[in-house]
Structure 1
Amino acid sequence: MGQWKFCPWQEQLPKRDPTRFVHLSILCEYAESCPLNGVQCTRPLRVLFLMTVFSLSLQQNDSSFMVVDLDSLFDRFSLWKRELPHIEPFYAVKCNNDETFLRSLAAMGVGFDCASRGEIDDVLRLGVSPDRIVYAHPCKSPSFISHAYNHGVDLLTFDNHEELNKIAVHQTCPQLLLRIAVSDPTARYPLASKFGADPKQKAPQLLKYAADLGLPVVGVCFHVGSEANDPSAYRLALEQTKRLFTIGLSFGHKMQIVDVGGGFPGREYTPSFEKFAASIRSAVHDIFPDPNVRLIAEPGRFFAERPFTLVASVMARTAVSAERITKKSCDASSTGHMYYINDGVYGNFICGLTDNYYPPGRPLFDDENGELFPSLIWGPTCDSHDRLEDNKMMRRLEVGDWIIYEDMGAYTSAVSTTFNGFQRPTPIYFISESRW
């Protein structure tokens, strides 16, 4: 596994425990003021789970924690550059705004898709240049438009006449992207019902109106929907975009940016990211062969979903009739178990309320030879809707055991709450020594 590294900052912070391993330094009470910024350095990842659990046990601490695997993030970036080398990624901050995660993306040269004043401020605080931000919300508050202008963010999206009127008042030199309504109807989250101008009727009118106001439109953007299923949806959207480029040029706009939006899968998915990328590459080659056209995208879950792994502890267990779990009268005399863990649908599993999907958990310590029981896993709150895994066959766990949930980075911590007083998990960052 390599050598464990000890904390190197004891000279700057004499009170800090110099015997603490770097990968556990986030648990130190002086971690917030440490120049290390909480980034961990060790391998392999499972050892980090085990050592963190061991350290928490010594402190009689059963809090859940979130492991952020920065190696996985680097791998996702490499995959993007391999499959879509000519498309610049602008990460959708709304998906997961963890500061160290954002800082890592910034260090790789990724741009940022921001949708509010707060997100713009979060990114600018990292030292990111304003020209690496696209303000990708078609319906913005006037004060937010002014704030973007005052901080040098001038690449904005719009999809209606009223938005152009606001921009004309609050932005002196904007660079505008026309958001059009296109959609993969099979996407888990179609977005065309809320944003986007009709590409055949309204979009040409908006291009003319922007020209009348003296506002430069530099391109077109679209979003086929989050967790899209049909790669061909991008080709249809690019065909509409090409037509609007021709119309925009006729009105004097310098059309040069195509923003293909998001919708790219994060976890293992069918169809795969590689299939999406191949479809986009083919469509771009056929429709936008001009190398002077700048291609950008707004991936969110593609980068965020896989690097985050939740490790939650079992805070309570109740033995019940298996019938209560399976809903089968033939199981009335059998035993089942209900477990209560310290994260749930008001925390990092909040995405399940809209996804109707919860990632399956697996015990950190599992007895492969143990008897299997019908099991139900609840979240920690008093709400009976806080229900995570139902009628699952598991070996018996005890209070204090730990369950691992992978692919927990997309729309989890960014939208989680502290309902019922349950706090968010502590993030613990992992990076291998070769990438430190």
Structure 2
Amino acid sequence: ITSDKIGENLPEGITGLHLHNLCENNSYDLERTLEVVEQKFGHLFGQIQWLNLGGGHLMTHKDYDTDHLVSLLKALKARYPHLEIILEPGSAFAWETGVLVSTVADIVENHGVKTAMLNVSFACHMPDCLEMPYKPRIRGAYQEPVAGKPTYRMGGNSCLSGDFMGDWSFNKPLQVGDRIIFEDMIHYTLVKSTLFNGVTHPSIGLWTLDGRFELYRRFGYEDYKSRMS
């Protein structure tokens, strides 16, 4: 809700304010956000008990300035000692903690566009890529097409016409059977996956530091059959 819709007093029963710092931002973005929040909503701080700064704080990134974050929060608490300050850095805990490993099942070409058909689905396994939308990183690939290099669109294995993304370039042509590894596919991916049209979930496992794979969960037809009953 915008500040002009609230007025000078909060509705009865409202004890706090909740905001978000968009997605995967740093402490300096939060600093600018807080300046605007205090400017537009500060007159209400005396009426609330808590202030939830929400998500969007990528504090596990190697370049995130945690000392700056701590100083911001301490200063905020000093200005409003009666407030309980809350953070929801959910994605920061799952960021860069897992990949989605797929295999090229076929390569087709139409009107000069080469599509690598995968055994995974953007719609079923990576819906956040289509909904946000954002283009995931592929290990060993160029994020944007590079002139003169083999370039492909990635096609998902569901029946949806929009189950594709692209394009990425590679140093050498892709072959059927090649692995395509999508980086950072745990947060907002695994939890939003679906069994649409019977497309199987990817198995869940752990690569150990000594190179072993430990399988945690494999999905099958019974998971699909019992999904809605």
Compare CA radii of gyration and give the structure with the larger one: 1
Check if 1:305 corresponds to 2:95.
yes
Unaligned segments of structure 2, at least 5 residues: 142-147, 211-229
% identical equivalent positions? 25
Residues 122 and 129, structure 2, Cα contact 8 Å, conserved in 1? yes
Q: Aligned pair count?
A: 200
Residues 129 and 135, structure 2, Cα contact 8 Å, conserved in 1? yes
Q: Tell me which protein shows more helix as a share of its residues.
A: 1
Unaligned segments of structure 1, at least 5 residues: 1-180, 183-197, 211-215, 249-254, 326-336, 365-370
Q: Which residue of 2 aligns with 1:204?
A: 9
Q: Which residue of 2 aligns with 1:243?
A: 43
Map residues 189-338 of structure 1 onto 2, 5 A cutoff. Answer: 198=3, 201-202=6-7, 204-206=9-11, 209-210=12-13, 217=15, 219-227=16-24, 230-231=29-30, 232-238=32-38, 242-248=42-48, 255=49, 257-265=50-58, 273-274=64-65, 278=68, 280-289=69-78, 293-318=83-108, 320=109, 324-325=112-113, 337-338=114-115
- The separation in 1 between residues aligned to 2:191 and 2:8, in whole angstroms, is 33
- The separation in 2 between residues aligned to 1:258 and 1:427, in whole angstroms, is 37
- The separation in 2 between residues aligned to 1:202 and 1:304, in whole angstroms, is 38
Deviations 1:234-265 (A, max 9, x none): 333255565323235xxxxxx3x332111224
**Deviation, structure 1 residue 378:** 1.0
**Deviation, structure 1 residue 200:** 7.3
Residues 301 and 409, structure 1, Cα contact 8 Å, conserved in 2? no
- The separation in 2 between residues aligned to 1:285 and 1:200, in whole angstroms, is 30
- The separation in 2 between residues aligned to 1:430 and 1:417, in whole angstroms, is 24
Secondary structure of residue in 2 paired with 1:395? coil
Residues 149 and 171, structure 2, Cα contact 8 Å, conserved in 1? yes
- Structure 1 pair 384–247 and aligned structure 2 pair: CA distance change class (3 A): closer
Q: Please, what TM-score do these two structures have when normalized by structure 1? A: 0.39
Check if 1:376 corresponds to 2:153.
yes
**Deviation, structure 1 residue 307:** 0.7
Q: Which residue of 1 aligns with 2:215?
A: none
Q: Which residue of 2 aligns with 1:405?
A: 182
Residues 128 and 189, structure 2, Cα contact 8 Å, conserved in 1? yes
Residues 349 and 358, structure 1, Cα contact 8 Å, conserved in 2? no
**Deviation, structure 1 residue 356:** 2.9
Q: Which residue of 1 aligns with 2:135?
A: 358
- The separation in 1 between residues aligned to 2:59 and 2:176, in whole angstroms, is 32
- The separation in 2 between residues aligned to 1:341 and 1:353, in whole angstroms, is 16
- Structure 1 pair 266–297 and aligned structure 2 pair: CA distance change class (3 A): closer
Letter in structure 2 aligned against 1:221: H
Q: Please, what TM-score do these two structures have when normalized by structure 2? A: 0.69
Q: Which residue of 2 aligns with 1:414?
A: 191
- The separation in 2 between residues aligned to 1:419 and 1:299, in whole angstroms, is 30
- Structure 1 pair 298–203 and aligned structure 2 pair: CA distance change class (3 A): farther
The root-mean-square deviation of aligned C-alpha atoms, in Å, is 3.6
